[in-house]
Amino acid sequence: MSQRPTQRFPLLAGLETLPGVGPKTAKNFTQMAVEKPRDLLFTLPHSVVDRRQKTSVLEVVPGDIGTIAVTVARHQRPSRRGLPYRVYVEDAQTTFQLVFFRGSDEWYEKQLPLGAQRVVSGKVEIFDGVAQIAHPDHILTPEEAGDLEGFEPVYPLTSGITQKVVAKAVQGAMSRLPDLEEWIDPGQRAKESWPTMAEALKAAHAPVSAGEIAPEAPARQRLAYDELFSHQITLALARAAQRKSKGIISGGDGALRSKVLSELSFRPTGAQMRSIDEIAADMGNPVRMNRLLQGDVGSGKTLVALMALLVAVEAGGQGVMMAPTGILAQQHLAGLRPLAESAGVVLEILTGRDKGRERAAKLEALKRGDIQILVGTHAVFQKDVEFHNLRLSVIDEQHRFGVAQRMELGAKGVAVDVLVMTATPIPRSLSLAQYGDMDISVLDEKPPGRTPVKTALVSAGRMEEVVAHLRTAVAEGRQAYWVCPLVEESETVDMTAASERFKHLRAALGEGVVGLVHGQMPPKDKDAAMARFVAGETSVLVATTVIEVGVDVANASIMVIEQAEKFGLAQLHQLRGRVGRGAAASTCLLMFSPDLTENGRRRLEILRETEDGFRISEEDLRMRGAGDVIGTAQSGLPRFRVADLERQTALMAVAQSDARKLLHDDPALTSARGKAARQLLWLMEQDKAIRLISVG
């Protein structure tokens, strides 16, 4: 299986092997992410031009394309510079003009000799009451016109690439398509009336109506499914490989968990209890746990994580909880330590700040097993960090890692159970694309006692009113966050914006009232500024988005977000979740620029209407597209050429269950359908998946 099937080679060869593609054109194609003939197969036309022949130009709506048989009547040279060259032609009912602004007289006379029959095709426009076609796309003899497609596909282009170049190269790639066995479940294919892959590619590249360009067209659905199915087989193989690696059975007696639950001043929600049970069941299995805990802002993920860590401790082992930043690790420590201590469990923190003797002592205690739960940053992955008996690794805010990093984590050789937490509600289609290799627990209820946050939209022109409102709130002992805009993808510019706002607010509210946190500050200064705000020494914290994830100050009840339209909806929802954590009525002010677009206003209004993170993320996906919602570059989200995650959620879900079923029935992919699926993986270049298939 380590050899690529030879019939694939022509599709995976260099682009220069295709007709009409030289080294320069091949280089231009790379701007469209087209590097091999197989890439062209999945670069589908985005629209279609109707080139069906009409009897007369009078039948064509101005602005549309007309294809008409004509007789050349006369040529009219321009009388002075700057005027066009005109050729008068007659169709079956009327006379109209062909207009040219560039080219030589000899060329026009050769292409359109007087009295000749021609078929012309191009955009029809009315000028001074006369129909005309400027620079026709096609000027053909009646014999050549027989080869003109009734519907012409329109491909995406980049500089140096024309429609003709793409069309010719696509034909070359299509001629290399080998005979492929079917990998789609026969029942599924029959139910959807899908063509074979070869038929689907043929139809997709030769659409005969605008309807065939739509994502719902059977050929497009089929090709989208092939992409999603190959991706889900890859995730299912990763999941199977993970499950093959023997896990540790961590069965606890529940004693520590009962102690902690009895200390709580509230009852956990049904969703929390359900997730706790799912995780405990996974940990009690001999298979490694690989689970995602997905919960909206304030849904109580931390308690669920602690319960999971206590299962590891009850079973005589240790647990680790990793946070993306030192601030968050400190906060987990503050939230978890009192509960852990109430059950007599030793919980400690390790970050990059631990140095010298203090660090050595912690490492020693960890190795002996004296520290039962460790909270930390990525520092816990350093070589000298050794556990006595690590059983569970909890990773917080995981949308920063993709599938590849999760696999690397597993490859560390420790058969620990893995629980990943994310506070970003992700639409179902994206969570399947990104986390299809994992089992998912969802916290879809809010714990009691969280006060709803009142969200208001305020124009930036009312800045001084907002500052006055803040002055009153601060005088009443309340605390506020002030989040500065994302100026551009530059921490330095963001820092300048935050520093300016800090000076402005300090002048308005007084010395010592306002703190500042941004990404460029040294870590210890950042921690100190946060600590002063947590302790209530400062009342207003001016920040860039470093506070987005997880910061918890119960007394903070006002959130001001400047130029809110520059943020993603999910991010605004995260920021708003920083307030409403105490008993005080909380407010979130979304300040917008005067030049706010209609779409921008609609997005902000969605936030005003709902606090449901899942609904917000679905709207965000619909309005901005998948790449922007998660930030594709750092999300581990696959880039699909045909599949549309916004509109084809249902297909993704079917692809996932089918891929899992196929691997359950045929783990080594050796059946006829399994072998066909291997061909699909080669065709889709899912090399990672191919490496995971046991050699067969």
Fold match, 255-443 / 453-610:
yes
Structure tokens, 314:
């009850």
Task: Flag whether pLDDT at 209 surpasses 70.
Answer: yes
- 606-614: average pLDDT: 84
Domain residue extents for the chain: 52-148, 255-443, 453-610
- Which CATH number among 2.40.50.140, 3.40.50.300, 3.20.20.210, 1.25.40.340 corresponds to the domain 52-148? 2.40.50.140
3-state DSSP helix/strand/coil % of the chain, to nearest 5: 45, 20, 35
Task: Flag whether pLDDT at 377 surpasses 90.
Answer: no
Mean pLDDT lowest among 295-309, 434-448, 482-496, 525-539: 482-496
What's the CA gap between 359 and 352, in Å, rounded? 9
The pLDDT tens digits for 556-569 are 899 999 988 888 78
Instruction: Give the relative orientation of helices 270-283 and 301-314 as an angle to the nearest 10 degrees.
Output: 30
Show the DSSP H helices in 112-245 as ranges. 142-145, 163-174, 186-192, 197-205, 218-244
Name residue 273's amino acid: M
Per-residue CA distances from 261 to 340, 425, 565, 580 (Å): 11, 26, 42, 23
What's the CA gap between 410 and 323, in Å, rounded? 18
- 284-313: average pLDDT: 89
Give which of 188, 162, 126 is closest to 29, Cα–Cα. Answer: 162
Task: Flag whether pLDDT at 196 surpasses 80.
Answer: yes
Environment class of 476 (CB within 10 Å of its CB; exposed 0-12, middle 13-18, buried 19+): exposed
Q: How confident is residue 546, by pLDDT bands cut at 50, 70 and 90?
A: low
pTM over 0.85: no
Q: How confident is residue 495, by pLDDT bands cut at 50, 70 and 90?
A: low
CA atoms within 13 A on the CB side of 678: 22
Q: Does CATH number 3.40.462.40 belong to domain 255-443?
A: no
- 667-684: average pLDDT: 91
Q: Please count the other Cβ atoms lying within 10 Å of the Cβ belonging to residue 499.
A: 15
Pairing verdict, β 439-443 and 290-295? parallel
- 468-492: average pLDDT: 80
Structure tokens, 460:
């930036």
Q: Is 521 helix (H, G, I), strand (E, B) or coil?
A: coil
Q: How confident is residue 696, by pLDDT bands cut at 50, 70 and 90?
A: very low
Q: What is the 3-state secondary structure (H, E, C) of 337-395?
A: HHHHHHCCCCEEEECCCCCHHHHHHHHHHHHHCCCCEEEECHHHHCCCCCCCCEEEEEE
Per-residue CA distances from 158 to 13, 20, 42, 472 (Å): 22, 16, 16, 56
What's the CA gap between 130 and 283, in Å, rounded? 79
The pLDDT tens digits for 94-106 are 999 999 998 788 8
Average pLDDT, the chain: 85
Task: Flag whether pLDDT at 33 surpasses 50.
Answer: yes
Q: Mind giving me the DSSP string for 531-577?
A: HHHHTTS-SEEEESGGGTTT---TTEEEEEETTGGGS-HHHHHHHHT
Task: Flag whether pLDDT at 406 surpasses 60.
Answer: no
Mean pLDDT lowest among 145-159, 338-352, 487-501, 677-691: 487-501
Task: Flag whether pLDDT at 43 surpasses 60.
Answer: yes
CATH fold for domain 453-610: Rossmann fold (3.40.50)
Structure tokens, 37:
């003939």
- The per-residue pLDDT for 637 is 55
Cβ atoms of 281 and 423 within 8 Å: the answer is no
